[in-house]
Amino acid sequence: SKIPTLIIHGGGDYFVPPSMSREIADANKNIEYVVFPGAEHGISAIIHTEKYNQLVNSFIKKCF
């Protein structure tokens, strides 16, 4: 895909291991992959709110 994609993964995710999204990111140079240390499945934005919001806003500005 040529569409810019952002994958955010929690480093403490045991439901979907970070290695799975890393494999997807490695397959495409248009994917930006970020791991939030200690965050379990689906709670990166809760644990690292400020950093998460900065990342998403930066990605949106870069794409548009």
Q: How many CB atoms neighbour CB 58 within 10 A?
A: 12
Q: Which two tokens stand for residue 24?
A: 């997807």
Phi, psi (degrees; rounded to nearest 5) at 40 = -85, -175
Q: How many CB atoms neighbour CB 4 within 10 A?
A: 14
- DSSP one-letter string for 45-62: HHHTHHHHHHHHHHHHHH
**pLDDT higher than 90, residue 1:** no
The terminus-to-terminus CA distance of the chain in angstroms comes to 17
Summarize pLDDT for 6-52 with one digit per residue, the tens: 999 999 999 999 999 999 999 999 999 999 999 999 999 999 999 99
